Structure 1
Amino acid sequence: MARGPLAGLWLAPHRPLFLLAGLWALLVPTVWLLPPGLGPEPLLWHRHELLFGMGGAALGGYLLTAVPAWTAGPRIAPATTKVMVALWLAGRVAFACGAALPLGGLIGAVYFLALAGILSAQVLRAGVWQRLPLALAPLVPGWAQMHDLPGEGIVLFFALLIGLIGGRAIAAFTRHALASHAKAPEVADPPWLAGGATLALVLAMAAQAEAPRLAGPLLIASGLMQLARMVAWRSWRAVGYPALLLLHLAWLWLPVGLVLAGAARLPGTGVAPATALHAITMGAMGSMMLAIMARAGMVRQGTRLLVSPALALGCGLVHLSVLPRLLMGWSGADPVLLRLAALIWMAGWALFLWQFRRALQGPVPRPVLSARSRA
């Protein structure tokens, strides 16, 4: 086996891909701090690279690390991980160089197509058909890159993934964390509630082009049902377990973002579409990705994951960074608020990267994102 300072990096897909997601979250907003005319076109770069770059790396790292648990199969080989990292980097280079569509979009889409191919092959081989929709989910951002689809649809798609993946994870982690408490209430995740929220969001995504006024109430309904899931999860009991609390706090941005997105489609609400989108991207996507990825770098103490002061501050800063950006929806395009949001966000992700360095070397704990470690 190869030795060296980077040998441990390739032992699990989450290590390089979560690292790249964190680095991209830190680097991409610097475009707002540059003098006008210097660097790439800010809005296009910011939107594309945070969705497909940061979001794509985080999605790949999570799914490739989770698939062996779905299938009871072998872990993803280091060589496969290296190929996926190379494809992700190729997409970044193609976009930075301004490769003309469809070539640029195709290069960026290959990463997502390969990710869906690897996942679906393992799922089909193991016969776990219920996991096939998640295995094929990367085809959606891949298709969006190939056809240069509007960013709003991809934002809602990531909201859908947060509801499906994040919701299941939070319910499972909460159930496990509270299981040791004899008097703890039962943690539930009613299928009708989770399914209803998902259905309403899917219908809203389908209706947004032809019937935006119908999409608005559907998004609000989805957001309210996602909020109601927190009651079934007994979210208030997470206060005593910081690693779990980070997930529940991140989840709050999902219903907030969906309700704002719905309100933005209704007349007379005064909610700007950009405000709603940033509640989902910076709020729900940013904080949920951070809360989940950070678990891989947390110190384990028995059956608990410990949140360091640096990580707690980093998560708090990512949450705080959303507020100046939301204020811009009511105060106008204030460059001071924009730069403030970027600086606070970047500081939060820098602290994550400092914490995550401990997860890049040594044996990989199994399962990666849970405190129930086993060799």
Structure 2
Amino acid sequence: MSDWRHWPVLSVGFRPWFLLMLGFATLAMGLWAGVWVVGGWGAAMQGLFDGGQFDWRWHAHEMTFGVGVALVAGFLTTAAQNWTGRRAWHPAGLLLVLGIWLAARLAFLLMGASPFWPYLLSIAAELGILFVAARLILLSRQWHNLMFVLALAGIVLADALFALQRHDGGLAGIHGWLGLLPIVAMLLFIAQRVVPPFSANRLGIPPRHTGRYVAFVLGGGPLLLFVVLFAQPILPNVMPLVGATIAAVVAVTGGYALVRWWHRKVLTEPMLWLLFLGVSVVLVGLAWLAAVLAGLPAGGLDGPLHALGLGMLAVMAMGMMTRVSAGHTGRPIHLPKWLRPALVVLLAVVAGRLLLPIWPGLEPVWLALTAGGLALVYLAMLLVIGPWLVARRRSA
């Protein structure tokens, strides 16, 4: 048997992180669908079992700090390795951080969101990812990429805040979902780097970059919004309006970027329009969040926060994970035919889940269907992309 340090799955960060992210996301969304089928609102609020497992806190925490962190770890450490020319992970260090991340997920599965120590495991994994990314960026003096270090630090801070407020009724407000914003910052910042050249290469058109100011707003705006909402208890009457303004500016700037990047040929390339759609859903979430923070009758936080989550962790994830996995394993960069039925299910899930706050009435059934549908999407991605992630790179 070959040395474990030379296993293909440990050769670069995206391979094990994407594999674990898809496996855990399939399980987590399948369990969440089961909560709505078995117990409805009572189970979702109080937990499916007597121990309190799988209540809304578990769902919010694990989709953000479990699925979201694994997705970011795969993208960011692979991208930082490419930017800096330095290896991100030693196999032993990678296995250590992966093991801590897995231990945290298992602890939350077995014990729910009430005990404190699973959060320590979750934060330890995030600190490991932060150390790896910061080391690459600082050693290479790539100061323009420091935003990623700040965003990862924000995730650690948000997870710690979640842990401290896990028994506080106020967690159901914005603080329970605050960790989404650093992920938004990183993925929008990566998107403005990736989408123009990818579009140019796939469509045979000149790249349509949007410049440093757009990049600054897309990457820095969500981080500033994170800081403002984190400090909301200090000035409760002022911070929401400031946050609404920031969210609106980022949404408008992102809309300008999409128009700038757009070409009619995008519709002929599913992986491209998946990226456009994912960014669009995130921007809708930011605009919706701006309306809620401004006090407009926009239906509360459920809609905008799920728009942010679905846009990043489902739509953008399918496009970007398929692109990265195919490109880095020597496969054609296109959406495999076996993922096309999953794409139809994904679009139905996004539309159904975002319409739910507007058309209430069948919530438990509808939530079970959308959660189950998303579990099937993640499972399809795992079955298609998973074999690529554990196999050796194909020869050119």
After superposition, the C-alpha distances for 1:347-370 in whole angstroms (9 at most, x for unaligned) are: 2111111111231233347xxxxx
Residue 169 (structure 2) aligns with:
none
Shift of 1:61: 1.4
Q: CA contact under 8 A between 1:18 and 1:58: conserved in structure 2?
A: yes
For the pair 1:28 / 2:28, whether they are aligned, the reply is yes
Shift of 1:337: 1.0
**Which stretch shifts more, 354-363 or 18-27?**
354-363
Q: 1:299-318, aligned counterparts within 5 Å?
A: 305-318=333-346
Evaluate the alpha carbon distance shift between residue 220 and residue 107 of structure 1 in structure 2; reply closer, same or farther with a 3 A threshold: same
Letter in 1 for 2:196: A
Evaluate the alpha carbon distance shift between residue 166 and residue 101 of structure 1 in structure 2; reply closer, same or farther with a 3 A threshold: farther
More relative contact order in 1 or in 2 (CA 8 Å, sep 6+)? 2
Letter in 1 for 2:121: I
Residue 114 (structure 1) aligns with:
128
After superposition, the C-alpha distances for 1:218-239 in whole angstroms (9 at most, x for unaligned) are: 3122112101101221243322
Residue 382 (structure 2) aligns with:
353
Q: CA contact under 8 A between 1:84 and 1:115: conserved in structure 2?
A: yes
For the pair 1:154 / 2:179, whether they are aligned, the reply is yes
Residue 132 (structure 1) aligns with:
146
Shift of 1:297: 4.0
Evaluate the alpha carbon distance shift between residue 263 and residue 358 of structure 1 in structure 2; reply closer, same or farther with a 3 A threshold: same
Evaluate the alpha carbon distance shift between residue 205 and residue 360 of structure 1 in structure 2; reply closer, same or farther with a 3 A threshold: closer
- Partner Cα distance (2:58, 2:330) in 1: 43
For the pair 1:234 / 2:265, whether they are aligned, the reply is no
After superposition, the C-alpha distances for 1:168-225 in whole angstroms (9 at most, x for unaligned) are: 22223223334xx3xx354122222332344544443343423212322331221121
Residue 81 (structure 2) aligns with:
68
Residue 285 (structure 1) aligns with:
313
Alignment size in residue pairs: 362
Evaluate the alpha carbon distance shift between residue 259 and residue 82 of structure 1 in structure 2; reply closer, same or farther with a 3 A threshold: same
Evaluate the alpha carbon distance shift between residue 25 and residue 234 of structure 1 in structure 2; reply closer, same or farther with a 3 A threshold: same
Residue 65 (structure 2) aligns with:
52
Residue 17 (structure 1) aligns with:
17
* Structure 1 vs Structure 2 CA RMSD: 2.8
Segments of 5+ residues of structure 1 without an aligned counterpart are: 366-373
After superposition, the C-alpha distances for 1:231-269 in whole angstroms (9 at most, x for unaligned) are: 221243322333222212221112111111111223343
Q: Could you say what secondary structure the match of 2:333 adopts?
A: strand
Q: Could you say what secondary structure the match of 1:257 adopts?
A: helix
Q: 2:322 aligns with which of 294, 316, 324?
A: 294
* TM-score (norm. length: structure 2): 0.82
Q: 1:332-343, aligned counterparts within 5 Å?
A: 332=360, 334-343=363-372
- Partner Cα distance (2:299, 2:88) in 1: 46
Identity score, percent: 23
Residue 246 (structure 1) aligns with:
274
- Partner Cα distance (2:268, 2:328) in 1: 16
Shift of 1:166: 2.3
For the pair 1:164 / 2:189, whether they are aligned, the reply is yes
Q: CA contact under 8 A between 1:321 and 1:344: conserved in structure 2?
A: yes
Q: CA contact under 8 A between 2:147 and 2:219: conserved in structure 1?
A: no
Residue 347 (structure 2) aligns with:
319
Q: CA contact under 8 A between 1:120 and 1:136: conserved in structure 2?
A: no
Q: CA contact under 8 A between 1:207 and 1:215: conserved in structure 2?
A: yes
Q: 1:207 aligns with which of 225, 228, 232?
A: 228
For the pair 1:103 / 2:143, whether they are aligned, the reply is no
